[in-house]
Amino acid sequence: MSISTAPVVLSSTDAGVLTLTLNRPEVLNGLTDDVLDAITDGCRQAASDDGIRVVVISGAGRGFCSGQDLRAGLESGDVDIRGHLRDHYVPMVRAMRDLEKPVIASVNGVAAGAGMSVALAADFRIAAESATFIQAFVRIGLVPDAGSSYFLPRLVGTAKALELAMLGETVDSAEALRLGLVHRVVPDADLGQATADFAARLTRAPRSAGLIKQLISHSLDSDLDEQLRREEEAQVLASESEDFAAGINGFITKRPPVFTGR
């Protein structure tokens, strides 16, 4: 399959950024098994490659992701919802969240249904001014999946999460920023550069950044004693890293440390 027709285009740079571009612009990058599996594989590739420091997920064309491609499912006769979620969606979400490297969703245009779930599963969301977010599941009689019911209340609170999920209303980029759904909103023409600049900052982060991701991810599901134990274990790992040694040396010599992620 050529790169131009692949459902997800993987591209990396010497700067340590792996970009996964959802590449079905004719259907606003609707999700299929191939797309979901490619995101999973991309995150697993990043996990095993020390040269990759950051993962960016973006959408080709005028939208980030319109959610599950319902036509593809209907045409194939695939109605095994449980199997579909377990075999494709769950591995994708787990791969994104288990990855000890930051994942950025670069959101242009619509992020609807499971497409919004993909964005929510990322660690950071940078949105174009044209971006919109829709918990579209309720519009067709379904419930939020692919982690939406987990991530959404943690970002906006249970009351607002209920409203967004039960009404299925469109949230524009300004409101998404106000609610805390996204970290940055930039003009459409600046989205690519803004994402690249943000990713570049993260590539210079130390090994402890991945440990911070895991600590914060677990924090709302842990009691204080459990979280203190997690901090202890993470701090031991961080203190044994090459980056900690570089940080201490930089502190002593008064020179900016150069972190390698090791």
Q: Last residue of some domain: 161, 182, 203?
A: 203
Interior/surface letters 178-209, b for 16+ CB within 10 angstroms, e for the rest? ebebbbbbbeeeebbebbbebbeebbbbbbbb
Of the candidates 53, 56, 37, 47, which has an alpha carbon nearest to the alpha carbon of residue 191? 56
Instruction: Indicate whether 135 belongs to any domain.
Output: yes
Residues 112 and 213 in one domain: no
Residues 152 and 216 in one domain: no
Query: Could you give the count of Cα atoms lying within 13 Å of 158 in the half-sphere of its Cβ?
Result: 0
Instruction: Indicate whether 63 belongs to any domain.
Output: yes
Residues 96 and 148 in one domain: yes
> How confident is the model over 170-206, as pLDDT tens digits?
999 999 999 999 999 999 999 999 999 999 999 998 8
Residues 227 and 149 in one domain: no
- pTM for the full predicted model: 0.90
Tokens of 11: 């591209």
H or E element at residue 59: strand 54-59
- Domain span at residue 248 reads 208-253
Residues 33 and 46 in one domain: yes
The whole-number pLDDT of residue 5 equals 66
Looking at residue 18, which CATH number applies to its domain? 3.90.226.10
What band does 15 get if pLDDT is binned at 50, 70 and 90?
Answer: confident
Name residue 185's beta-bridge partners. Answer: 127
What band does 2 get if pLDDT is binned at 50, 70 and 90?
Answer: very low
Q: Which long-range contacts (CB under 8 A, 24 or more apart) does 240-244 make?
A: 241/206, 241/207, 241/208, 242/207, 243/206, 243/207, 243/208, 244/206, 244/207, 244/208
| C-beta of residue 29 within 8 angstroms of C-beta of residue 61 | yes
> How confident is the model over 129-168, as pLDDT tens digits?
999 999 999 999 999 999 999 999 999 999 999 999 999 9
Residues 91 and 213 in one domain: no
